């Protein structure tokens, strides 16, 4: 039986859940841990990655037939770096506070392995529409992952959920906050626990499928 072509919807949901970049593939771990101190900066990072990944996937897929195989990686890096520079300028102009809180990690989207990985593994072999769907699915999966980590870190560590600027919910009084979670070390702890629980769920599901 020939393998069926994947539909756009399947490609999209593949990145969102089944091949989630944060919890299943472990791509782009530096920003995953560094910008999850608050939900706000995680959302900002997610928006940046959505912008760069969708556009870079489209651009790479448009030039895929003209790029010589030997120099493809440098060309992809230049495409991604130009998009990141555009993003840096936009963010510094319109949301300077957010740009400052992301700091160096805004520029480091260039070396986020998720973006180069999708360019190489998907966009260089598929058309622009499918590549856009793949980029959007992967980037949303990444955003969901880091927002989930940030949710637990900020809620338990600082007692609040900051969505945007002053749009902030204070939920836990200071006495019950676990301060270590919003410091650097806490990122490792929260991420490790979440990964182990998601692994448990996935393994149990795989076991059940085998029994049937």
Partner 1 sequence: MELIAIAFGAIFVNNVVLQQFYGLCPFLGVSTKKSSALSMGMAVTFVITLSTIIAFLLYDLVLVPNNITYLSTIVFILVIASFVQLVEMFIKKFSAPLYSALGVYLPLITTNCAVLGVAIDTTVNGSKIFGVGTDVTLIMVTVYALGISIGYSLVIFLFSAIREEMDAYPIKRNWQGIPIALITAFIMAMVFYGFGGIV
Beta carbon nearer to partner 1, 84 or 133: 84
CA dist 153 and 76 (Å) reads 34
CB of 127 vs partner 1, minimal distance in Å: 26
What is the DSSP code (8-state) at residue 160?
A: E
Contact residues for partner 1, defined by CB under 8 A: 26-27, 29-31, 33-34, 74, 77-78, 81-82, 84-85, 88-89, 103-104, 107-108, 110-113, 116, 180, 183-189, 191-193, 195-197, 199-200, 203
CB of 119 vs partner 1, minimal distance in Å: 12
Beta carbon nearer to partner 1, 100 or 129: 100
CB of 190 vs partner 1, minimal distance in Å: 9
Query: What's CA 181's distance to the chain center, in Å?
Result: 21
CB of 194 vs partner 1, minimal distance in Å: 9
CB of 182 vs partner 1, minimal distance in Å: 13
Q: How far is CA 75 from CA 1, 53, 94, 122, 148, in A?
A: 37, 15, 29, 16, 33
Beta carbon nearer to partner 1, 1 or 93: 93
- Strands (DSSP E) contained in 83-177 are 160-164, 167-170
Beta carbon nearer to partner 1, 12 or 191: 191
Q: Is residue 166 a contact partner of residue 81, using CB atoms and an 8 Å limit?
A: no
Beta carbon nearer to partner 1, 82 or 177: 82
Q: Is residue 83 a contact partner of residue 123, using CB atoms and an 8 Å limit?
A: no
Closest CA to 45 of 93, 126, 105: 105
């Amino acid at each position: 039986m020939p393998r069926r072509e994947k539909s756009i919807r399947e490609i999209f949901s593949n990145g969102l859940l089944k091949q989630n970049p944060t919890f299943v593939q472990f791509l782009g771990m530096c920003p995953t841990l560094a910008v999850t101190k608050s939900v706000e900066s995680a959302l900002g990072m997610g928006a940046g990655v959505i912008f760069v990944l969708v556009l870079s996937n489209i651009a790479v897929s448009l030039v895929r037939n003209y790029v010589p195989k030997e120099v493809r990686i440098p060309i992809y890096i230049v495409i991604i770096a130009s998009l990141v520079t555009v993003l840096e300028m936009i963010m510094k102009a319109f949301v300077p506070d957010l740009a400052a809180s992301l700091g160096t990690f805004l520029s480091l989207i260039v070396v986020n392995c998720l973006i180069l990985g999708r360019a190489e593994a998907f966009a260089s072999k598929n058309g622009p529409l499918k590549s856009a769907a793949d980029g959007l699915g992967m980037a949303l999966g990444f955003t969901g992952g880091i927002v989930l980590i940030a949710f637990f870190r900020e809620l338990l560590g600082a007692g609040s959920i900051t969505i945007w600027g002053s749009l902030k919910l204070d939920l836990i009084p200071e006495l019950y906050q676990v301060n270590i979670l919003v410091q650097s070390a806490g990122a490792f702890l929260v991420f490790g626990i979440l990964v182990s629980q998601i692994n448990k769920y996935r393994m149990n599901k795989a076991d059940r499928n085998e029994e049937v």
